[in-house]
Chain A
Amino acid sequence: MSKGKIAIIGIGEVPTRNMPERTHWDIVYDTCMEAVRDSGLHKNDIEGVISVFPQAQPKIAAELSFGKLPEELGLKGCKDAVSVNAGGASTSNAIRLAEQWITSGVAKAVLVHHVTIHSTIAVPDLINFFAKAGVDLQWEYPYGTTYNIIMGLMANRFMYQSGCTPEEMASVVTALRSWAAKDPNSFFYGKEVPSVQKVLASDLLNTPLHKRESNVLGDGGCAMVIVSAEDAKKMKRPAAYKLGDSVRYFSGTCVMRDFNKVAEGFRVTAKEAMAQAGITKEDVSLWNCYLAYPLAHPMISELLEVAPPGMGGKYFLEGRMSFGGDIPWSSIGDAPGRGHTGSGVSSACYVETARQLMGKAGERQVKNCKYVYQNAGGGSGFNNIATIWGKEI
């Protein structure tokens, strides 16, 4: 991939809430118009539109995939529109496609956006979708597995091998929710941050996962405007420059996923992305990790060498990754803090990365935020994409 070919110059977002009265197109209008206005461009400067595929929402997915957005918003200069689907890695790939469009001359300015409304999906349909998506229908689904159980399998083995305690695992929720409580776009904005004891007192769903360690589904959406790094510099506006991008594929079927290969993938992608950016881990101002579940955070903090081996859980328990701690980490609180918007959690993470580098994160603003590590994983974790973003090129 490339160092410094593109930059995010405009962002827009709506609060993650359960608001069935807010339609998909309400969110599309509000987020996209805000992002274009924030970029300083005119709507007709947008030459490409990329939608992050909304999971389990066939009607809006079809409308977006078949090109309705530029027409709806009157983007008169638009040359092309498309949807991208790789589950939680959709946004990373949408940004890569934007980079290709920009560097090949297809478009000078690209709008990337996401919208999801879970609150109007019938509960049986929602349960059925999340039970089957990313779960093999021959070798896994008949046993009664779920995403929660798949995460439990990984977390249990990690705890067994590393000595990470239930209290340390629970403290990840406390850390993520401490950020979310300060985030106006979070489902949990202004809400009480649950203590470790409160997390562990919640119902045990499947070992070692408690109810407060799982995700709450929400409605939401966000958008970003991407231009070439060269154009972003000329515009002299706050921007987030993409400086590095590395990825490893693991497996499509959960049981085929070799834990050691996953661990190595997280290590290598971080190192490669940082090498492309010309930085080291000491230069990273914010580790904006997207892992969907809190249970993976201690393990990843060790793989990224933010915490020494065996110390990931302890770092969380000590509050080092919490709001106000010395290691800025997942500053929207990842999916457990933000509220789960399907593929949109990673979109929200990228928007937050840009927001932090632009210096627009308000109370959550990381001081002297210069470089951000931003990862994403697709489906039930079939890959890991590591990216590095910078305030300047």
Chain B
Amino acid sequence: MDFDMTKPVPETQPWSEKFWEGTKEGKLLIQVCNDCKSKIFYPRKYCPECWSGNLGWMEASGKATILTFSTAYGMVEPKFTDELPYTIAYVDLEEGIRMMTRIVECKPEDIKFDMPVEVVYHEREGFFLPYFRPVKK
């Protein structure tokens, strides 16, 4: 069967490009509303709280905790089977933002709920995806 084996890159919007530019420099940027001070994730064209277009960016610490996770062992798209097993997680950043990510640099059985993690970047076709790894004690 003829499967598309191309690994996907993020389909960006003009207002999210700054986020991806930041990752190239090792910065995890969070969009902020300069009027109502909301922290916004994922980046929007206008603030989803007050509809202001006066938006800026702040750099996050890159520290987070694992809200939940699921480790895949099979039945993923063929383009991802070479990476099995891998763990997808929701992580809560210190800044109050929740992201989907991968947990790396540890065995799946060592991943725990509420575990502290920190951002690392995984390069794919010029994009640097924010992955997270356990914080070393």
Q: Do A and B come from one complex?
A: yes
Residues of A within 8 A of B (CB): 122-124, 127-128, 131, 136-146, 148-149, 152-154, 156-157, 160, 203-209, 211, 214, 253-256
Whether B76 lies near A146 (C-beta < 8 A) is yes
Nearest B residue to A146 via CB reads: B76
Whether A128 lies near B10 (C-beta < 8 A) is no
Residues of B within 8 A of A (CB): 1-4, 7-13, 16, 42, 67-78, 80, 83, 86, 88-90, 98-102, 108, 113, 124, 127, 129
Nearest B residue to A148 via CB reads: B75
Known contacts A124-B3, A142-B129, A156 near B70 by CB under 8 Å: yes
Most chain B CB inside 10 Å of its own CB: which residue of A143, A154, A160: A143
Nearest A residue to B8 via CB reads: A142
In the complex the two chains form, what is the Cα distance from A156 to B77 in whole Å?
21
Whether B99 lies near A206 (C-beta < 8 A) is no
Whether B4 lies near A143 (C-beta < 8 A) is no
Known contacts A144-B80, A205-B73, A206-B73, A157 near B3 by CB under 8 Å: no
Contacts of A256 in B (CB 8 A): 42, 98
Tell me if B's interface is mostly helix, strand, loop or mixed: mixed
Known contacts A145-B88, A160-B113, A138 near B72 by CB under 8 Å: no
Known contacts A127-B78, A153-B90, A141 near B1 by CB under 8 Å: no
Known contacts A138-B42, A139-B99, A144-B88, A149 near B68 by CB under 8 Å: no
Contacts of A160 in B (CB 8 A): 68, 113
Partner of A138, one of B12, B71, B80: B12
Contacts of A149 in B (CB 8 A): 70, 72, 76, 88
Nearest A residue to B72 via CB reads: A206
Nearest B residue to A141 via CB reads: B8
Contacts of B129 in A (CB 8 A): 142-143
Contacts of B98 in A (CB 8 A): 255-256
Whether A127 lies near B70 (C-beta < 8 A) is no
Known contacts A124-B1, A138-B16, A139-B10, A152 near B70 by CB under 8 Å: yes
In the complex the two chains form, what is the Cα distance from A140 to B10 in whole Å?
8
Whether A142 lies near B127 (C-beta < 8 A) is yes
Partner of A144, one of B13, B74, B76: B76
Whether A154 lies near B68 (C-beta < 8 A) is yes
CB distance from B107 to the nearest CB of A (A): 13
